[in-house]
Structures are given as structure tokens and as C-alpha cells.
Amino acid sequence: NVVLVHVYDVSLEDMFWRINRITANKNSLIKFGGVFHCGVEVYGMEWSFGFTDSETLPGVSSTLAKQHPHHRYRQSVCLGPTSLSAEDLADIISDLIEEWPGETYHLLRRNCCHFADTLVQLLKVGRLPRWINRFAHIGASCESGIETIRRTDEMLGLSAGMCALTKNLVNGAKWMGSLAIANAPHRSEDREGRQQRARRQQ
């Protein structure tokens, strides 16, 4: 019943591996952040969230631990044992399948790391380490700042150039995550099938 967070370099592209090696070296005690995918392993299966373009295809999926087919495994973080049973986990996953449909995925505000943070809290083992999703939080803050400047510009007639300059801060983060969305698997299993599989894993 030990809960592990498995961290991956987003996609299989070497570019993201190189970025993450600099900004969050796995051997370093201090990590600034990176472009990551992550999943939560508990009771022998790893659960994660990703983009789908259909209401009938769930965003929540399971894989063998450290074996996500679309991302490069990097390292694991142990959060300790959960006091919940396998039956409790099945109920949690069933609820999350409904609450996290794949079409609601957002690179900066509702991604796989946000899902993992929600799941580990429900498992009562704390929170996701901040460095795992720090880049997304920074990007989301920049995006909010852009919207604030745009509205202020409309009200007060500030320079349009200022808006354009600030907008560039978030474009990089969005671009770096675009491959993760493009490479996201289109799951063929519907929600009912996923719920049944979760319960069989008890």
C-alpha cells in the first residue's frame, strides 16, 4: 500500500530530457522544475491523467509502474503508505474518472501533475513535491498576468507592446508542452470498462 509518484520527462523527445537534466537534475537535492509527466502508483498499478478528444474516452488511465508508453521514465518519489484499502482506491478512481474527463485537460491549469496531486491527497499521503509542477504554475501565473494586462489596456489605453512582451513569457511553456498533447494516446476503453478494470485490481 506504499504510494509512489513516478516522474517522467515529457514525451520521448531528447529536447525535454536535456531541459530537465539542467533544471531538475535527478541527483540534485535542489530542483527548480521541469517539463514532466507523472503518475501515481498504489496497489501495483500506476494512475495518470491525459488529454482525450472525446467525451466517451476517459482522461484517467492506468499502466504498469514506470512503463508509460509515451514518456521517458526519470525518477520516483515515495510518499509513504496509505491507510486506505484497495476497495477504497477503486471507489476513488471511479469518482476521478467522472471528475477528470480527458477533454478538460489544460497544459498549465489541469494537467497530469494536478491530477496526481489530487490523487495523493485523497490517499492521505500528503502533497506532490512542488518542483514537479512548478513550471506549469509559473506559466499559469504568467497567463493570468497577460489577461490582467489586456483588461487594463482596454480600460486605460496602455501600450499594446507591453501586452505583447508579457505574452511571450507564457508562450515558451505552452510550446514545450505541445508535444505532450500531440503524442497523447487516444484511449479506446470507455469509462465503464475503466471502472470495471479498477475494481478487478482489488
**Looking at the annotation, which residues are catalytic?**
37, 112
Closest by CA position to 170, among listed 93, 83, 108, 96: 108
**Quick one: 72 exposed, middle or buried, by C-beta within 10 A (0-12, 13-18, 19+)?**
middle
Is residue 48 within 8 Å of residue 97, measured between CB atoms?
Answer: no
Query: What would you measure as the largest C-alpha separation in the chain, in angstroms?
Result: 60
Cα separation, 138 vs 154, in Å, equals 25
Residue 21 neighbours by CB under 8 Å, 6+ apart: none
Reduced to 3 states, what is the DSSP secondary structure of residue 41? strand
